[in-house]
A and B are shown apart, each in its own frame.
Chain A
Amino acid sequence: MEEIKCNCNGKDKYMAELLEKFTPEKDNLIQILNGVQEHYGYIPKHAQQEISEYLKMPMAEIYGVVTFYSRFTLKPKGKYNIAICLGTACFVKGSEKIMDRAKERLKIKPGETTSDGMFSLEETRCVGACGLAPVFTVNGEVYGSATVQKLDQVIDEIYLKNK
């Protein structure tokens, strides 16, 4: 996938603005990464490089932090990000079956994106809608009292809409 980059002296304009908000201390790494994740939807390589230069930190260490926290992702998410709650309340109500079905339908594992960039799949822990368990979300929109059929229906609709 093409990385988003503009040509302000070879540096990314957003990154420059973001880094400006922080002093160049290693303590700020996670805060900076949170900003990057929010802006790009993932942590691009060039962002890691600029952080490395700014904080004077080896890339391996930044990579170690990025890969530790599940919020940070190294690949862009799909156009539709399906997140299935595997919190206990949803698990007890059968969300595992919905996850199994999603893996089967999309032929990807959690954390991956389909090759056409349409779907990505994610497991989340408790989105706070335990009253609606089991739930899954598509780009943040919650589908409660979910079933395997409901998931199928949602995926079918998306396919149809994008044909």
Chain B
Amino acid sequence: MKDILVCNGTGCTSSKSPKILENFKRIIKEKDIKDVSVIRTGCFGLCAKGPVVIIRPENTFYAKVKPEDCEEIVQKHIIEGEVVQRLLCKDVDGNLVEKLDDLDFYKKQKRVVLKNCGKIDPENIDDYIAQDGYKALEKVLKEMTPDEVIEEITKSGLRGRGGAGFPTGKKWSFTKMAEGKQKYVVCNADEGDPGAFMDRSILEGDPHSVVEAMMIAGYAVGADKGYIYVRAEYPIAVHRFQIAINQAKEKGILGEKIFGTDFNFELNIRLGAGAFVCGEETALLESIEGRRGQPRLKPPFPANKGLWGCPTLINNVETYANITQIILKGADWYNTIGTEKSKGTKVFALGGDVNNIGLVEVPIGTTLREIVYEIGGGIPNNRGFKAAQTGGPSGGCIPEEYLDTPIDYESLKEIGSMMGSGGLIVMDDSKCMVNLAKFYLGFTVSESCGKCNPCRIGTKRMYEILEKLTNGEGTLEDIESLEKLCTTVSTASVCGLGQSAPNPVISTLKYFKEEYIEHAVDKKCRANECKALTKIQIDQEKCRGCGLCQKNCPVEAIKGEGREKRYIDQDKCIKCRTCLSKCPFKAIG
């Protein structure tokens, strides 16, 4: 009895994993092999090595599988019982690793939220039920009062995983206490941080865990209607969540008189339409109600006045994904994971200049160094670590000196960043921090809802100053204005998006101010990223006139004929740096 697990998360799907799934199924059928099932799963986490195929029970991990490799895997591994060496994964030192559990990437991880991701078929409710699915709901409905449920969640110390880390139990009890005949439970799956994909992976890999948790929340706060607000840009997640709803309905788990009790629950999907600000809870409510996603002023908070003016509980996907396990294993168990103030695990989307790009789940309190160097396998090309960015456009950059800071809500805030929804982008020493700040501000300028002046105009003015700096037109006074704007925008904006928009600038100004000054005074970008401040030139001493650079230049900016030494037409050069990598004599720089 063997299982062939094929990752069908978005990352692997982009590199043709559905074709791999199809091939395996076809081959197994053609060869009439019994006792082997081919299972489509959600994300395994190690996206950099995708498409990923795992053979159970031995847990062999095949990386970068192509559709044409299926034949060989079936023949050699399934039939002949031999591992296909060439498809195994190499660790950072170049050694082949056979089993999933032997990969450094997984060793330090603790999978609570992602426990089912990559292990079950997300489109099959029986797979979920086999993993104790819907037992927590049954337990809650049959054995616990709503207050007991809230008590358990409060005791667990779970905090909102959407960014700010508000205690979940408290939020539930506020909503329960609020007066109102109709109450709603909402799941925020509008994951907008441009580099984070935890929530999507959960919805793609284990949708029922969210369905179940929303129902538990509904029971606890007294709501019988729920909405999940998902980005329309996540078609696979939407599709699988809808399947989960349908299957739960068919099984009689979702609907009326659930588990024979008086509890009813109705769950609907609402699609977001591409506005980052809708991740802000009140903007999300506006959007569900069909309007422009412009945040409401708080108070009143959604717990008192949310959807259509009714008390509404809003949690994000990852928060919900913790619930069933807290109920089943107890708050005391959950308390053993994490730090004193921040319990449980956190999922990060690890990306950027790191070897093992992917999804990682670690106990809160794990240090950045452990994540980057042990789980992430360090930085490619032996480059140095410059900074890690957490919290996306609302977060900040963490410099090397804080690599050993335990990652939790408080300590991240202290060093000028935030947990955010969980994007964690590593940057090596070739990155310009001023340019990075500009990137994030550019994002906020176009994603600001436009409602309040500090955010609408302030972020634009900040962007303009950063543009001046990266173009070599900035001055020290500009940096002063930038600092002033940071204060105004963060203190005077209406919602969390505006208030946190300056964070990427504030944190880079804090740790990399000398780079700002270099841009302004010396007109220099030490990372050579800012086009206007860099010039790519061919060292006439080193050039041998081979013409390789010229052949590879996409814009015909390199001049010279035959064996002549080449030179670069600066007006045409787009600084793509292709020539640098092509020159055999390292003559270009």
Contacts and interface: CB of A to CB of B under 8 A. Distances in A.
Asked if the two chains touch in their complex, CB atoms less than 8 Å apart, one says yes
Interface string A93-137: 100110011001000000000000000000011111111110100
A149 B552 contact: yes
**What is the size category of the interface that chain B forms with chain A?**
35 or more
B11 A129 contact: yes
Contacts of B436: 92
A31 interface: yes
A129 B357 CA distance: 10
B352 A93 contact: yes
Interface string B33-51: 0000000000000111110
The A interface is mostly helix, strand or loop, or mixed, namely helix
B554 A149 contact: yes
A82 interface: no
A19 interface: no
B292 A97 contact: no
Given A65-B290, A89-B357, A89-B425, A104 B195 contact: no
Contacts of A49: none
A92 B554 contact: no
B570 interface: no
Interface residues of A, number: 46
A148 interface: yes
Given A128-B9, A132-B15, A65 B292 contact: yes
A64 B289 CA distance: 15
Nearest to A88: B195
A37 B271 CA distance: 12
A72 interface: yes
A30 to B, nearest CB: 5
A84 interface: no
A89 B47 CA distance: 13
B50 A131 contact: yes
Given A88-B392, A131-B50, A70 B275 contact: yes
B423 interface: yes
Contacts of A64: 292
A86 B14 contact: no
B274 interface: yes
B67 to A, nearest CB: 15
B209 interface: no
A144 B15 contact: yes
B392 to A, nearest CB: 7
6 contacts: A30-B271, A89-B351, A92-B427, A129-B15, A131-B357, A131-B358
Given A31-B271, A64-B292, A88-B351, 7 more contacts: A91-B194, A92-B353, A101-B574, A131-B357, A147-B576, A148-B578, A152-B554
Interface of B: 9-11, 14-15, 46-50, 192-197, 200, 232-234, 270-276, 287-293, 349, 351-353, 357-358, 389, 392, 423, 425, 427, 431, 436, 439, 443, 449, 552, 554-555, 574-576, 578
